[in-house]
Chains A and B, each alone.
Chain A
Amino acid sequence: MAKSNPPFMSGVPELLLLRLLDNREMYGYELVRSIKEATGEAISLGEGVIYPVLHSLERTGSLQARRKPVGGRTRVYYSLTKQGRGRLRDLQDDWRRIQSGIETALESPGHA
Chain B
Amino acid sequence: MREPDFNDLAARLLQSGIAPRHAHRTVNEIRDHYDDLVDAALEEGVSRRKARLRAAHELGRIDDLVAEMSARRELKTWAFRYPRAAIVVYPLACLAVLPVAPVFAGIANAPLLARWGASLLAAGLFTAALLLVLQLSILFG
The answer to whether A binds B is: yes
Residues of A within 8 A of B (CB): 1-5, 27-29, 32, 45-49, 51-53, 55-56, 59-60, 73, 75-76
Number of residues from B at the complex interface, CB < 8 A:
29
Q: In the bound complex, how far is the Cα of B65 from the Cα of A49, in angstroms?
A: 6
**Chain B contacts for A5, CB-based, 8 A:** 60, 64
- The closest CB in chain B to the CB of A13 belongs to B68
In the bound complex, do residue B57 and residue A3 qualify as a contact, i.e. CB atoms below 8 Å apart? Answer: yes
In the bound complex, do residue B32 and residue A48 qualify as a contact, i.e. CB atoms below 8 Å apart? Answer: no
Known: A3-B57, A55-B72. 18 other contacts (CB 8 A): A1-B1, A1-B57, A1-B62, A1-B63, A4-B61, A28-B33, A29-B36, A32-B33, A48-B33, A48-B64, A49-B64, A51-B29, A52-B72, A52-B75, A59-B75, A73-B32, A76-B25, A76-B29
Residues of B within 8 A of A (CB): 1, 4, 22, 25-26, 28-30, 32-33, 35-37, 56-65, 68-69, 71-72, 74-75
**Chain A contacts for B64, CB-based, 8 A:** 1, 4-5, 46, 48-49
**Chain A contacts for B22, CB-based, 8 A:** 55, 59
Q: In the bound complex, how far is the Cα of B30 from the Cα of A49, in angstroms?
A: 10
